[in-house]
């Protein structure tokens, strides 16, 4: 795993010499989407046997071990964890914990592809936050692309119809928390490394999941009639040896994904990096079909086509008309 991170750092350095910062951010966002899609399907697979906070605690403990090994192997070592922005790290950590919890609770109550598609309202929220809080410039073509993706999400969610389910509010809440996370990442990119930001996220995961275990880990508040509440409040069970490989995959995948997404939003503007996480949508359809036999219906296919078109159009515009970073910086305070 250390070799993988060393390779990634070398690749990012070489990209910096020959490519724009936005290009690095886009590549990292795509890589993070692949990692997170893998962890999503793994958690959904394990949701019938373990409580959510039990899965997250072991996943984060493994991820913490990976991060510490990387820090000890790096030039800065554990000294790089020293920060003057601890409060912002904690707020960022709480944001990502809530985003994960809400998304995974929604994941067990609906098809994988539908939950992921609903979560992808987050790029529109990120764009809104980037304008309000970061004073970034978003041109009309990029707004069109983001709006196209938002229409696709609406098609899939079908608000106001009998197809709408209450559990769909959970991924929407996760999207707001996710947007908060990456808005904070943009404000910390000049002083905090990706490894440091990932470390403090893992610390927050471990603290929160441990507290939940201490409060409700005995299952006394469990509600088996609700898939989401059952996943959150069921009692802890013994870890099966056969599942340990999956937990290692979760820990390594989530840590690598956290590292890449931190790099993505450090190098690229929030409104530009966000649409490239859409790669998780076709992957969610693939995993849903192969692992859970969840066939996407016509509504899902039409809506996802709009979402994919928005990401591809953003890529086309950036290739033909590269965004000028100074335009955004001129609006920053």
The mean pLDDT value for 163-187 works out to: 83
* Structural contact between residues 159 and 106, judged by C-beta atoms closer than 8 angstroms: no
Mean pLDDT of 63-78: 71
In angstroms, the CA 22 to CA 40 distance is 26
Distance CA 329, CA 327 (A): 6
> Taking residues 103-107, what's their average pLDDT?
93
Q: Could you give the CA distance from residue 190 to residue 164 in angstroms, rounded to a whole number?
A: 42
Tokens of 82: 């020293």
pLDDT score of 179: 85
Q: Of 116-125, 200-209, 318-327, where does the model show the most confidence?
A: 200-209
Mean pLDDT of the chain: 79
- List the one residue out of 237, 232, 208 whose CA is nearest residue 222: 232
Which pLDDT score is estimated for 321? 59
Record the tokens describing residue 132, joined without a space.
């309000």
How far is residue 150's CA from residue 118's CA, in Å, rounded to a whole number? 9
- Average of per-residue pLDDT across 162-185: 84
Average pLDDT over residues 261-286: 79
pLDDT(11) > 50: no
8 Å CB contact between 239 and 51: no
> Which residues make Cβ contacts (< 8 Å) with residue 241, sequence separation at least 6?
none
Structure tokens at 120: 């992808």
Q: Roughly what angle, to the nearest 10 degrees, separates helices 112-119 and 169-188?
A: 50
Q: Residue 5 in contact with residue 70, Cβ under 8 Å?
A: yes
Torsion of CA 260, 262, 267, 269, to 10 degrees: 120
Q: What is the mean pLDDT of residues 40-59?
A: 92
User: Of 74-88, 148-162, 242-256, where does the model show the most confidence?
Assistant: 242-256
Neighbours of 182 (CB within 10 A): 26
């Amino acid at each position: 795993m250390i070799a993988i991170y060393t390779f990634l750092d070398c690749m990012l350095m070489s990209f910096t010499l020959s490519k724009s910062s936005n290009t690095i951010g886009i590549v990292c966002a795509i890589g993070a989407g692949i990692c997170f899609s893998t962890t999503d399907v793994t958690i959904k697979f394990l949701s019938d046997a373990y409580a959510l906070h039990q899965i997250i605690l072991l996943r984060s403990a493994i991820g913490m071990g990976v991060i510490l090994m990387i820090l000890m192997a790096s030039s800065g070592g554990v000294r790089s964890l020293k920060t003057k922005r601890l409060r912002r790290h904690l707020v960022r950590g709480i944001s990502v914990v809530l985003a994960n919890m809400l998304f995974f609770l929604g994941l067990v109550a609906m098809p994988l592809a539908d939950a992921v598609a609903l979560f992808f309202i987050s790029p529109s929220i990120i764009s809104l936050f980037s304008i309000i809080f970061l004073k970034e410039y978003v041109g009309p073509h990029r707004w069109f692309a983001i709006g196209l993706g938002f229409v696709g999400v609406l098609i899939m969610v079908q608000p106001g119809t009998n197809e709408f389910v209450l559990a769909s509010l959970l991924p929407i809440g996760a999207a707001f928390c996710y947007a908060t996370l990456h808005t904070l990442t943009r404000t910390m990119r000049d002083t905090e490394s990706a490894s440091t930001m990932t470390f403090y996220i893992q610390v927050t995961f471990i603290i929160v999941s441990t507290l939940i275990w201490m409060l409700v880990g005995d299952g006394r508040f469990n509600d088996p009639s609700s898939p989401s509440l059952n996943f959150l409040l069921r009692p802890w069970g013994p870890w099966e040896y056969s599942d340990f490989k999956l937990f290692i995959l979760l820990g390594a995948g989530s840590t690598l994904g956290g590292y890449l997404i931190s790099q993505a939003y450090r190098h690229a503007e929030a409104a530009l990096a966000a649409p490239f996480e859409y790669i998780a949508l076709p992957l969610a359809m693939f995993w849903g079909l192969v692992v859970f036999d969840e066939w996407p219906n016509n509504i899902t296919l039409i809506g996802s086509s709009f979402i994919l078109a928005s990401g591809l159009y953003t890529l086309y515009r950036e290739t033909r008309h590269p965004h000028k970073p100074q335009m955004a910086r001129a609006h920053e305070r």
